């Protein structure tokens, strides 16, 4: 059994957890990662919803679990050839591996906020993204965040929007917005913080508590209406327009800082890997699982598995759970089917 090598594409939470589980099952996982560091988006995050747990601590735990696993950073796949049930994989450094299974853990990209030009990202200085705010919480260095008195969060940026061809819900932005709203309020207690939402999808354990905490303890004000446009007034402040749909009235508001909750999109460059592995995309552009009930980690291609947000937007606990189930699927495949 332990002669079997398994290639894991991506060193984010899904890849790390899959590798850890495969290793515990006595197999030999190899992780390849195109960037120069481990952790994916988790490495960019400061705290995690719903309870503001430390992201770095979680990443350290995940890293600790794979300390005996071979991880190739700055590596891309050049070529994959399947011979029987063996995949011959050639990396960008021309190193080759013969593996019995491949687990795709390529995750997601955050929606590029500049695509929604009406929100003024990259045009107006005080429009930032959720990822940039998270970076600020980590480093406290961002000159755009300068004692803001009024802060707005726009939910569903690049999600549930036919105009950018992303009709799905990104699932994590509602909770992230309220988490970040509480955190920035904590930092600037005199600021008024508004969240512009369409639906607050607080579906997970502790999310509704977070919503209640945001209202009760942090005085976060939620407005039901999608922001339609952002402009700048003569003083350089942001002016946003939305409808307060519960009141049925259009509204205008001046803000010092606007945070765009960018949703999840399929990761760039994954199509190339999909073509090499002969696996298709689903209707949202993510990788298609064999079936969403009993074959979530499987693809239509024998020996090719998937885990995490490469198949659809997912929370971290879901991603990690899926990584563990992927490891079982791989184990089952290698011990029974091969």
Residue numbers of the site for another protein (CB under 8 A)? 118, 160-163, 198, 224-229, 241-245, 248, 250-251
Q: What is the DSSP letter of 281?
A: B
Closest to another protein by CB, 63 vs 226, is 226
Minimum Å gap between C-beta 174 and another protein is 14
Structure tokens at 314: 């997912």
CA-nearest of 23, 12, 46, 320 to 186 is 46
The CA distance from 181 to 194, in Å, is 8
Q: Quick one: 60 or 118, whose CB is closer to another protein? A: 118
CB of 199 to another protein, least distance (A): 8
Least distance in Å: CB of 156 to another protein? 8
Smallest separation, CB 253 to another protein (Å): 11
Q: Are 127 and 262 within 8 A, CB to CB?
A: no
Burial class from Cβ neighbours inside 10 Å (0-12, 13-18, 19+) for residue 290 reads middle
Instruction: Return phi, psi of residue 198, to 5°.
Output: -105, -45
Tell me which residue of 108, 99, 102, 62 sits closest to 297, measured CA to CA. 102
* Between 99 and 195, CB nearer to another protein: 195
Judged by CB, which is closer to another protein: 139, or 233? 233
**CA contacts within 13 A on the Cβ side of 335:** 12
How far is 35 from 42, CA to CA, in rounded Å? 14
- Measured from the CB atom, the residue of 13 and 225 that comes closer to another protein is 225
DSSP SS3 for 74: coil
The pairing of beta strand 304-306 with beta strand 101-104: parallel
Q: State in angstroms the smallest separation of the CB of 65 from another protein.
A: 41
CB of 264 to another protein, least distance (A): 17
CA dihedral 133, 135, 138, 141 (to 10 degrees): -90
Quick one: 84 or 248, whose CB is closer to another protein? 248
Question: CB-wise, 237 or 241, nearer to another protein?
Answer: 241
How is residue 335 annotated by DSSP?
Answer: I
- Nearest distance, CB of residue 260 and another protein, angstroms: 15
């Amino acid at each position: 059994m332990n002669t079997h090598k398994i290639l894991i594409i991506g060193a984010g939470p899904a890849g790390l957890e899959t590798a850890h589980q495969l290793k515990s099952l006595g197999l030999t996982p190899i992780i390849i990662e195109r960037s120069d560091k481990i952790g994916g988006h988790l490495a960019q995050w400061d705290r995690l919803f719903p309870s503001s747990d430390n992201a770095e601590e979680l990443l350290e735990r995940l890293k600790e679990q794979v300390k005996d696993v071979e991880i190739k950073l700055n590596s891309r796949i050049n070529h994959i050839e399947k011979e029987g049930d063996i995949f011959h994989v050639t990396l960008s450094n021309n190193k080759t591996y013969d593996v019995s299974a491949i687990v795709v853990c390529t995750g997601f990209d955050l929606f590029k906020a500049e695509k929604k030009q009406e929100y003024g990202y990259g045009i107006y200085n005080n429009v930032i993204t959720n990822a940039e705010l998270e970076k600020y919480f980590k480093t406290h260095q961002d000159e755009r965040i300068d004692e803001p008195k009024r802060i707005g969060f726009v939910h569903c940026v690049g999600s549930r929007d036919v105009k950018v061809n992303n009709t799905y819900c990104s699932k994590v932005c509602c909770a992230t917005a309220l988490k970040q709203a509480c955190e920035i309020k904590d930092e600037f207690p005199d600021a008024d913080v508004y969240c512009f939402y369409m639906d607050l999808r607080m579906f997970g354990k502790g999310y509704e508590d977070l919503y209640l905490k945001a209202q009760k303890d942090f005085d976060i004000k939620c407005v039901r209406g999608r922001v339609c446009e952002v402009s700048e007034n003569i003083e350089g402040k942001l002016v946003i327009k939305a409808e307060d749909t519960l009141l049925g009235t259009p509204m205008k508001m001046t803000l010092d800082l606007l945070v765009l909750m960018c949703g999840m999109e399929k990761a760039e460059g994954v199509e190339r890997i999909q073509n090499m592995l002969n696996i298709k995309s689903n209707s949202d552009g993510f990788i298609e699982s064999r079936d969403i009930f009993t074959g979530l980690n499987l693809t239509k291609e024998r020996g090719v598995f998937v885990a995490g947000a490469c198949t659809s937007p997912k929370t971290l606990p879901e991603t990690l759970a899926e990584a563990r189930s992927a490891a079982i699927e791989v184990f089952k495949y290698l011990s029974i089917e091969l």
